[in-house]
Amino acid sequence: MKTNLKLAGCLFLAAALGIPAVAQSAGADLYKVKCQMCHGASGMAESGAGKVMKVKPVTDPDVKKMSEAQMIEAVRKGMGKMQPYKDKLTDAQIKDSVVYFRSFMK
């Protein structure tokens, strides 16, 4: 019985720790395909398209003050020259990509 409880505890912990890793991996993959061309590999908008479109880097004060919800809405509806993704990505995909982008702020 004791072994079963330890095993169950380990499985629970592994599952709990694995969920964010899966979400971040999905967000990272999606970011690379849909966002990186303008926002850059590390969110610094250092790409050619990012420079031409004057995309603000993740370190810009205006970007840093945006909440996760505001960023999600910006991706959904579009912002500036960025196209809206509400009809191209699911809400979960948009959130995953925003969570990944926000990881550059740390």
Instruction: Give me the number of domains the chain comprises.
Output: 1
Token digits of residue 61: 């004060």
- Say what the pLDDT of residue 106 is: 84
CATH number of the domain that residue 11 is part of: 1.10.760.10
Residues 74 and 36: their CA atoms lie apart, in Å, by 16
Residue 15 pLDDT greater than 50, yes or no: no
Residue 11 pLDDT greater than 60, yes or no: no
Q: Which residue has the tokens 């960023």?
A: 71
Token digits of residue 58: 């993740």
Residues 43 and 66: their CA atoms lie apart, in Å, by 14
Q: Enter the pTM of the model.
A: 0.76
Q: Which residue has the tokens 């079963």?
A: 4
Domain limits at 42?
Answer: 2-103
Which spans in 35-67 are helix H? 36-39, 48-52, 61-64
| % pLDDT > 90, the chain | 75
Q: Is 10 in a helix, a strand, or coil?
A: helix
Angle between helices 68-77 and 91-103 (to 10 degrees): 130
- Say what the pLDDT of residue 24 is: 62
Residue-wise pLDDT tens digits, 43-82? 999 999 999 999 999 999 999 999 999 999 999 999 999 9
